[in-house]
């Protein structure tokens, strides 16, 4: 009894997750095939009526179809099998079809292979031979899908190769809690919401979490949701099938599928319209995607990290961001301080950027003067680290001797407003709104407080003045 249970355990553990569809009008053949193939595959579906084939192909993630050549009594020319072979491959060229017949006609076999069948077996077959044949076909199918995924992944990652990603560098006490959270959360699969102004390094934080996670050897895929149009959202994130729309000339994997097994970073999630938020929520909840042009669901396994510079909590209050989506993405929250609050980091980062750019522009003896460092430390950095990076590069290019001086910097300044007499009340109000928004660095909640009006009132005024 113990040996029997051990054998059953071995057989169970050796099963693969493949889904096999067997279509034959002989119920005895179906029973034999199901018993044999269940030893190897987790799911074996049997069907006597070929009219139902496409329902399975459309609604199930079928890996291999074993298709009989003849269904009607007295018919032996294989035309029915060839007809359904064409139908299957027209709908999904990725399915492997094995033709099965009691008549070993080489002509039919050659024709079936030309149409796209991957193998041809002749009844009656031995169980061991059937299992071996279908296992080989399944493995070939799996390898082909992995190659397709690798090609799609390579295309997505090729743009990342040339990008320069620095390590997170800081000596300020304000960043110590951030590093602590990263260390604690990296070893989990918890969703993380990273909040902070533009240019504070939210993507660097996401990459650091991935680098320290158990998924570090799998892809890190970055999606800028703010740059995606509504028409491309589903295709870009979930993928599409060939012919799904005018320009869909081939199947394409979406970012969720490419990132499966790794980490998906959704940047600027606060820019996502409400109708698209619901679609994203459905995927996060069900951990399944459906490609554009398909009705089949695919399981996905991603670690989700999100970021935004917007006040998503206020947006949720104003019903501009779904509360249920917010709860799904902020299991852990990281609030990045702006550069102006990271004491000591400006001069540290300036020296690091200087080292980088003096090598790039072959100015190896270039240094920052004391006055230049003082000026950098006194500036409030509305553009944060990104702005500092840009200003140091520009200063290196413009420096004429071995020192970067304070007059080599070109800081971002508030755009001055024309000083002329305005008597029109609407124009006065419009200018006040523009100045308040600029002063509050586009934080509409603070701008509304500055103007002494509610946020919803500010929205109406902005719409009125086309701001």
Beta strands 403-404 and 239-240, pairing class: unpaired
Is residue 241 a contact partner of residue 258, using CB atoms and an 8 Å limit? no
Contacts with 171 (C-beta within 8 Å, 6 or more apart), sequence order: 344, 345, 348
Domain with CATH 1.10.10 in the chain: 425-464
Taking domain 173-335, whether its CATH number is 3.40.50.300 is answered by yes
Report which of 26, 39, 9, 106 is spatially closest to residue 66, judged by C-alpha positions.
Answer: 26
What gap in Å lies between CA 235 and CA 241, rounded to an integer? 9
Kindly report the CATH number that applies to the domain delimited by 425-464. 1.10.10
Is residue 19 a contact partner of residue 299, using CB atoms and an 8 Å limit? no
What gap in Å lies between CA 43 and CA 315, rounded to an integer? 46
Question: Which residues on neighbouring strands pair with residue 22, listed in sequence order?
Answer: 46, 66
Domain with CATH 1.10.8.60 in the chain: 340-408
The total number of residues shown for the chain amounts to: 467
- DSSP states of 27-49: HHHHHHHHHHHTTTEEEEEEES-
| Side-chain half-sphere exposure of 316, counting CA atoms within 13 A | 10
CATH superfamily of 2-141: Response regulator (3.40.50.2300)
**Class (C level, CATH) for 340-408:** mainly alpha
What is the sign of the dihedral through the CA atoms of 410, 413, 419 and 423?
positive
Domain with CATH 3.40.50.300 in the chain: 173-335
DSSP 3-state of 120: strand
DSSP 3-state of 400: coil
Per-residue pLDDT tens digits of the chain, which is 467 residues long: 444 334 334 344 457 888 999 999 889 899 999 999 999 898 999 999 999 998 888 888 888 999 998 888 777 788 888 999 999 988 888 889 999 877 666 678 778 888 989 888 888 888 888 998 898 888 888 777 766 666 565 555 545 444 455 578 899 999 999 999 999 999 999 999 999 999 999 999 999 999 999 998 888 999 999 888 888 899 889 988 877 787 777 788 889 998 989 999 999 999 999 999 999 999 999 999 998 888 888 889 999 999 999 999 999 999 999 999 999 999 999 999 999 999 889 999 999 999 999 999 999 999 999 999 999 998 989 889 999 999 999 999 988 888 998 888 877 654 344 444 555 677 777 888 888 887 777 788 888 878 878 777 787 788 777 77
Domain with CATH 3.40.50.2300 in the chain: 2-141
Is residue 434 a contact partner of residue 421, using CB atoms and an 8 Å limit? no
């Amino acid at each position: 009894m113990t040996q029997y249970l051990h054998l059953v355990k071995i057989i169970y553990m050796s099963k693969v997750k493949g889904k096999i569809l067997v279509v034959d009008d002989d119920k005895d053949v179906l029973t034999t095939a199901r018993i044999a193939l269940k030893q190897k595959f987790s799911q074996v579906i049997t069907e006597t009526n070929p009219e139902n084939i496409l329902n399975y192909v459309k609604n199930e993630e079928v890996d291999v179809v074993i298709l009989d050549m003849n269904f009607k009594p007295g018919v032996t020319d294989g035309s029915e099998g060839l007809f359904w072979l064409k139908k299957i491959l027209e709908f999904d060229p990725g399915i492997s079809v094995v033709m099965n017949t009691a008549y070993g006609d080489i002509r039919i076999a050659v024709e079936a292979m030309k149409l796209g069948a991957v193998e041809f077996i002749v009844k009656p077959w031995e169980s061991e031979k059937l299992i071996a044949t279908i296992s080989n076909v399944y493995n070939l199918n799996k390898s082909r899908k992995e190659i397709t995924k690798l090609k799609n992944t390579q295309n997505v990652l090729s743009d990342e190769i040339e990008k320069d990603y620095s390590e997170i560098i800081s000596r300020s006490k304000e960043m110590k809690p951030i590093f602590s959270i990263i260390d604690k959360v990296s070893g989990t699969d918890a969703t993380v919401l990273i909040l902070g102004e533009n240019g504070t390094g939210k993507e660097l934080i996401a990459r650091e979490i991935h680098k320290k996670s158990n998924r570090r050897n799998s892809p890190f895929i970055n999606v800028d949701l703010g740059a995606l149009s509504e028409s491309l959202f589903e295709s870009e994130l979930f993928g599409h099938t060939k012919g799904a729309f005018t320009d869909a000339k081939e199947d394409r994997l979406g970012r969720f599928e490419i990132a499966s097994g790794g980490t998906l970073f959704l940047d600027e999630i606060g820019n996502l319209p409400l109708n698209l938020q619901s679609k994203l929520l459905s995927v996060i909840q069900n951990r399944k995607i459906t490609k554009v042009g398909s009705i089949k669901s695919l399981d996905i396994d991603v670690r989700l990290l999100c970021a935004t510079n917007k006040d998503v909590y206020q947006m949720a209050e104003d019903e501009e961001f779904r509360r249920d989506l917010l709860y799904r993405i902020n299991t852990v929250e990281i609030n990045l301080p702006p550069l102006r609050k990271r004491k000591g980091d400006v001069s540290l980062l300036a020296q690091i950027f200087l080292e980088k750019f003096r090598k790039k522009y072959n100015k190896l003896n270039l240094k920052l003067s004391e006055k230049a460092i003082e000026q950098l430390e006194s500036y409030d950095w509305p553009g944060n680290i990104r702005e500092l990076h840009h200003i140091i590069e520009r200063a290196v290019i413009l420096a004429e001797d071995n020192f970067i001086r304070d007059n080599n910097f070109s800081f971002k300044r508030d755009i001055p407003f024309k000083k002329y007499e305005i008597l029109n009340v609407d124009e006065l109000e419009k200018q006040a709104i523009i100045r308040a928004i600029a002063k509050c660095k586009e934080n509409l909640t603070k701008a509304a407080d500055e103007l002494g009006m509610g946020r919803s009132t500010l929205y109406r005024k902005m719409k009125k003045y086309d701001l």
